[in-house]
A and B are shown apart, each in its own frame.
Chain A
Amino acid sequence: MHDATPSRRLRQMRRALVAGARMLALAVVLVWSAFPIALLVLGSLRMPRDIFSEKNLFVFTPTLQNYVNLWQRWPDFFHNLVNSLMIALGATALTLVISFLAGYVYARRQGRMLTASAFFMIMVRLLPPIVLTLPLFPAINWLMLNDTRTVLILLYSAFFLSLGTWIMKAFIDQLPIELEEAAAIDGSSLWQTLWHIILPLSHAGLIATSVFIMVFAWNDFLFAFIFTAVDAKTAPVVISEMVGAIDGVDWGILFAAATLQLLPILVFVLLVQKYLIAGLSAGASKG
């Protein structure tokens, strides 16, 4: 027993070392995640000529010069932001309505046909989106829906219906069925029950679903790039044009535009963080 004290000290040292290593790892993870974003947002507030100077990366007098330049050189960008917003809201509303109804049925009804249709829903998740641009391109031209917000709203919804339905089913599954039975005895119709009982109780699922579709619709490049030209062009497409500008990239303007595109959705995601986490595990792993 004569070595009790040194071994305890050794253990304490090891524990301190492990704790130190953990905090160091945490610091690395935080820098990895946040530094690139901070660089962009802060860069948008520096004088254009200072953007590449490595001095005072975080301490400087902020200026809105880049935003003024953006306003003057790309006046349409704000119209494109509005497009992005309307498309994201439209796609979210559509996805919520359809997923809520389908999710309710899959949660409460059983049957071989229903199971088969649910299975079909899972299968279509495997379709790579770019494959569908081929047949949709002529079809959309023919319907004269090219370069409209409607097309993007429909496409984004179609791609997130499956996940949305799954999330809604997972949340509605947790609601006690007695509530609906009691409502039915009181003479409430199915629609009344859905509207007055199920809908308010499944708000967490609705928020979780809206996070995914909102982030996707607001950020998408591929479909907006292929299916819009002028009127319905979204912010990410315009930012990609700024990156590829032939007369050299104006980083100040680019940073201002990118910051305006990312801040609203970043704030939204962080506000509804816990729903995002709940929705992701519900949508991905539960049957």
Chain B
Amino acid sequence: MVAPAQAMLIALLFLPALYVFWLSLTRSTYGATPQWVGLGNYVTVLSDPYFWTAALNTVIVVNAVVLGEFALALGVAMLFAGWIPWRRLMIAVVLAPYAISEVVSVVIWKFMMDPIGGPVSLALRGLGLPELDWAVEPSHGLAMVILLSIWHHLPFTFILLYTALLGIPRDLYEAAKVDGAGAWRRFVDVTFPLLVPAMLVAVVFRYIFAFRIFSEVWLLTGGGPARTTEVLAVYLYRQAFRYADFGAAAATGWLMLIASLLMGAWYIHQMYKRMFSNA
């Protein structure tokens, strides 16, 4: 009964991934028969300055998104662990961005940040604060991508941390209180150590998912101006579907796959230990 699941995974995910590896060792484009070029594509990609721009942008965006989101989610989760009026309704509001598509969140943020009449741009101007010139200035474009991603994915990290917080037995806090621990010591000695597993899972998951970022960048800046705001997924897409260079795109794909495996290594190792220890 696991056969349908495994068959689908192998046919649609695993075999294609292997095929990408083979593709990455050949020169191929539409119609032409692939030619063996060994590691040639990897050399091409790794000596392409646009690849390194994309890689650097990805590192910046992913770190800023995951760490910013984590700090924010931890704060919100701590807030919600205490007394909150209309709890169910409040959680529903915090969850709402989870249901929004990438495309629609881009629409919303583009509107709010419209340089001419967007409400947030106007408000920033009214307060005398600097505005985001995201369509022109590459670093502002990336900042907008980061902001949007944090907004969009906060609910995910929030839920993981919030449910873990609720799972901490109340009497531990009572005991710490009796021992004279203040709020800060209770956080450091009780909350934090018990929350570490959930925090690691949340952060690892978010690193793996944030690393795939495509739509937000593609729809917001298209990687421009002049390919300065590309991330790796956009670079891969452009190599494959704009320049029809499947070899280089496949090589990029395998580099991404390896990076993804490295980011997930800790989680995989944990799962391996747990699963094979009771088998």
Contact = CB atoms under 8 A, between A and B. Distances in A.
Contact of A236 (B91, B102, B164): B102
A138 B199 CA distance: 40
Interface in B221-257: 233, 236-237, 240-241, 246, 249-250, 253-254, 256-257
A185 interface: no
B103 A236 contact: yes
Contact of B88 (A159, A269, A273): A273
B9 interface: yes
A97 B1 CA distance: 10
A37 B100 contact: yes
Interface residues of B, number: 92
Given A215-B99, A287-B275, A37 B108 contact: yes
B112 A39 contact: yes
Nearest to B107: A258
A134 B264 contact: no
Greatest chain B CB density within 10 A among A115, A218, A258, A273 is at A258
A251 B117 CA distance: 12
B279 A115 contact: yes
Contacts of A218: 101
A161 interface: yes
Contact of A128 (B1, B107, B211): B211
Interface stretch (B60-68, B170-178, B266-274): B266-274
A261 B104 contact: yes
A112 to B, nearest CB: 6
Given A127-B260, A128-B253, A276 B16 contact: no
Given A236-B104, A261-B104, A132 B13 contact: yes
Contact of A98 (B5, B154, B215, B261): B5
30 contacts: A33-B93, A34-B96, A36-B97, A36-B105, A36-B112, A37-B108, A98-B5, A102-B5, A114-B2, A119-B275, A122-B268, A131-B20, A162-B9, A165-B5, A219-B102, A220-B101, A221-B103, A236-B102, A240-B103, A240-B106, A243-B106, A244-B219, A254-B107, A261-B103, A269-B96, A270-B92, A273-B95, A277-B91, A277-B159, A287-B274
Contacts, number: 263
A211 B268 CA distance: 25
Given A98-B4, A101-B2, A130-B256, 9 more contacts: A40-B111, A54-B119, A101-B4, A102-B5, A130-B214, A134-B249, A225-B215, A261-B101, A276-B159
A122 B104 CA distance: 30
Contact of B101 (A136, A157, A219, A280): A219
Interface in B165-215: 197-198, 201-202, 205, 208, 211-212, 214-215
A133 B240 contact: yes
Interface string B57-79: 00000000000000000011001
Interface in A238-287: 239-240, 243-244, 251, 254-255, 258, 261-262, 265-266, 268-270, 273, 276-277, 280-281, 284-285, 287
A40 to B, nearest CB: 5
Contacts of A197: none
Interface in B119-153: 119, 122, 151
A135 B111 contact: no
A142 interface: no
B195 to A, nearest CB: 12
B201 A112 contact: no
Contacts of B52: none
A40 B92 contact: no
A134 B163 CA distance: 38
B147 to A, nearest CB: 11
A205 interface: no
Interface of B: 1-2, 4-6, 8-9, 12-14, 16-17, 19-20, 23, 75-76, 79, 82, 84, 88, 90-112, 114, 116-119, 122, 151, 154, 156, 159-160, 163-164, 197-198, 201-202, 205, 208, 211-212, 214-215, 219, 233, 236-237, 240-241, 246, 249-250, 253-254, 256-257, 260-261, 263-264, 268, 271-272, 274-276, 278-279
Interface stretch (A2-10, A24-32, A64-72, A174-182): A24-32
B260 A126 contact: yes
A269 B98 contact: yes
Contacts of A104: 1
A193 to B, nearest CB: 12
Interface in A79-126: 97-99, 101-102, 104-106, 110-112, 114-115, 117-126
Given A120-B9, A268-B99, A130 B212 contact: yes
Nearest to B270: A287
A43 B108 CA distance: 10
Nearest to A157: B8
Given A136-B16, A226-B241, A239-B107, A128 B95 contact: no
Given A39-B112, A157-B8, A280-B156, A102 B104 contact: no
Contacts of A244: 219
A184 to B, nearest CB: 16
